[in-house]
Chain A
Amino acid sequence: AQTVTQSQPEMSVQEAETVTLSCTYDTSESDYYLFWYKQPPSRQMILVIRQEAYKQQNATENRFSVNFQKAAKSFSLKISDSQLGDAAMYFCAYIDLLPDGAGKSTFGDGTTLTVKP
């Protein structure tokens, strides 16, 4: 079974600074997807960024980027120029790649990010 580990239960960052959230996973598959989701106090899950395992290039979305190390099974999220609205719980998720898109996901335990003004 796949496992996802987020070793940082809590992190804090000063506004406008950069922070990196770590995530490691374990799988025997070669094709899969990795995601970072954000869950603010409203508890609505919001997709932050996704990475296909077959792509070597690290995904970026504006201030959010990942460092995907497939051999090391590591998938960290870097948030640049942190904003107060970035404060939330962040979940790393793994999804098997299935042809019909029905892959189920495994979530890490989450990292609570605090942004200090």
Chain B
Amino acid sequence: GAVVSQHPSWVICKSGTSVKIECRSLDFQATTMFWYRQFPKQSLMLMATSNEGSKATYEQGVEKDKFLINHASLTLSTLTVTSAHPEDSSFYICSVGDTYNEQFFGPGTRLTVL
């Protein structure tokens, strides 16, 4: 299966700053990537579907201007949390979808906003 990396693995930032999280598909050209948010001991909540070369599709209730997603190449998608606040603190996970509808997940990024 596809190998997916995320960077950084943990980031701490001050309230009001913006943070960029990278998701890379290391051995697979990913037309589609997914971004999830996970609170402690809870399920994964899909935030958006990232399509290479086009605008991301956001799930209902997810602020597009707050969570900027860019999928500029077949191996890289980025999630930028703009003007982060403490309530944005969470675990963010990306995944790559293959042609068999299977998803391969990155190791996740823990965001802490002070």
Contacts between chains A and B (CB distance < 8 A), count:
61
Mask for B81-104, Cβ within 8 A of A = 1, else 0?
Answer: 000000000010101011111111
Q: Are A101 and B100 in contact (CB under 8 A)?
A: yes
Partner of B108 from A35, A43, A95, A103 at Cβ < 8 Å: A43
Minimum CB–CB distance from A55 to chain B (whole Å) comes to 13
Q: Are A44 and B105 in contact (CB under 8 A)?
A: yes
Q: Are B93 and A104 in contact (CB under 8 A)?
A: no
Q: Which range holds the interface residue count of chain B?
A: 20 to 34
The number of chain A residues with a CB under 8 A from chain B is: 27
Interface residues of A in 93-117 (CB under 8 A from B): 95-98, 100-110, 112
Mask for A35-75, Cβ within 8 A of B = 1, else 0?
Answer: 10100001111010010000000000000000000000000
Give the chain A neighbours of B91 by CB distance below 8 A.
43
Q: Are A100 and B43 in contact (CB under 8 A)?
A: no
**A105 touching B46 in the complex, CB below 8 Å, given contacts A42-B107, A45-B105, A112-B41:** yes
Q: Are B102 and A50 in contact (CB under 8 A)?
A: yes
Using CB atoms, name the residue of chain A closest to B40: A43
Q: Are A44 and B108 in contact (CB under 8 A)?
A: yes
A positions within 8 Å CB-CB of B: 33, 35, 37, 42-45, 47, 50, 89, 91, 95-98, 100-110, 112
